[in-house]
Copies of this chain bind each other. A is one copy, B any other.
Amino acid sequence: MKRYLSPSISTLVAITILCAAPAWGASAPVARAYREAHGPRILREYAELLSIPNVASDTVNIRRNAEFLRDQLSRRGISAELWELPDAPPIVYGALDVPGAERTLGIYVHYDGQPVDTSQWTNPPWSPTLYTAAIESGGMARELPADGEPIDPEWRIYARGSGDDKAPLPALFTALDALAEAGIEPTSNLRLLFEGEEEAGSDHLQEYLESHRDQLDVDLWLICDGPVHQSRRPQLVFGVRGYTGIEITVYGAGRYLHSGHYGNWAPNPAMRLARLLASMKDASGEVLVEGFYDSTAPVGVDELEAMATLPDYDGELRRELGLAETEAANAALAERLLIPSLNVHGMASAAVGEAARNIIPTEATASIDIRLAKGNDPAEMLDLVEAHVREQGYHIVREAPDRATRLEHPLITRIVRRTGYPAARTAVGMPIVQPIVEAARRASPDPVVLVPTMGGSLPLYLFTEVLDRPIVIVPIANHDDNQHAPDENLRIANLWYGIDLMGELLTLP
């Protein structure tokens, strides 16, 4: 696919920071003026939200988040409530009907975050800490600014959930405050849906949506999640990859064996796992599972056109990440997202380093995630992987094998299938999405990147298939926000963009 040569990232950043957005829209200046006047308070209020731990399985704290958000909506005149299901984080729902409005916008955000390994964080994950720049670029921790103190948009606030995905919440709340202060009404009815278990797999979202279908009759869902483009340009995204995965465990002897007395004789499960994984994907990045790419839907004309406008940021990204080469001979990232992926996100067998012992491990496990392109069925993709594993000579079990099974089959693997969901995509050329594109263009002086499919997964098929409504993904966070990783952060310039964008979206012509 054709790609343009983009200006260097430092140029782009400079533009983002230095250029004030021109006053095209009715309310972007209102939102911007408001956040310029109240920046320190906005950061303090965001830090308050970020200080509430937000792992979905932490039932007490996840509810504290939900109640906090419900109260934030209520105090802004939004009719707000919590939806409840047993053993599920609540949904925070808000509705605002505007007299005379002919359009209803849905706004989706998730308030839960990924689990944390606190030992790997510079600061505790729920002790929001402001830095003068990214930590890895030499940023220093500093106090939150006092009222009236200037704010450098290159500052970053560090906390789990700061980028993924609490960031749209202060953007929305601030835009509502700005409009209220200026006496301006939103131009659309609003239906707000804040989910609390997206990072845990959104297991209850379908049930929530189906049982509240009448409260969710919108014209378009704005899905506020994910990062902006790696070039720091704003982007709108029209689809997501689906998601599934498996955990594969292979076995050796039934107990640890001394590697001297039995090494070379007893099978080594770590080595078996290595051979099995190596059989699944070649050095160029091509997945070798038969049929893996066959069900992927072709890409439409509007999508190809949008892709042709994507900045070519891959080279810069490689340098930033310290990668001499990427998969498939440096094929474009955007192209790689149009096909399903197979990624080992974890691997374990006994111990390494100081903890290593002279044993033959009893088992070895790999945790694999599979990202799906439009057209791929989650269960069918797992079936293909299992067929591949069987073709390597493995007998597949669902629980740890008993002795009889071990003695019957030389190669045994336990495969745990994850639940999954398909990809979703809205056509880039659809009329209802055009005002959204224009709003994003007004909110930022930089060209807006239109992306047919983003790499991340969200269960947006629930919106596009179950609720049967189009979606547009409206990202706010910086691309280098360490989402899903230690030291997650939000760059303040991205929060400012989010506020200005929300101002535009609430006042679409």
Contact = CB atoms under 8 A, between A and B. Distances in A.
Contacts of A345: 259, 270, 350, 356-361
Contact of A322 (B265, B277, B406): B406
A138 interface: no
Interface in A327-386: 327-328, 331, 333, 336-337, 339, 341-353, 355-361, 364-367, 369, 371
Contact of A486 (B256, B270, B321): B256
Contacts of A349: 344, 346-348
Interface in A148-172: none
A257 interface: yes
Contacts of A18: none
A409 interface: yes
A403 B322 contact: yes
A445 interface: no
Contacts of A267: 285, 323, 325-327
Given A265-B333, A322-B406, A457-B260, A367 B356 contact: yes
A489 to B, nearest CB: 12
Query: Is chain A's interface secondary structure helix, strand, loop, or mixed overall?
Result: mixed
B346 A356 contact: yes
Interface in A406-424: 406-410
B365 A327 contact: no
A8 to B, nearest CB: 16
A109 B407 CA distance: 37
B283 A253 contact: no
Interface stretch (A22-30, A77-85, A477-485): A477-485
Contacts of A356: 247, 345-346, 367
Contact of A347 (B256, B323, B325, B348): B348
A75 interface: no
Given A264-B336, A265-B333, A257 B352 contact: no
A353 B265 CA distance: 29
Contacts of A285: 264, 267
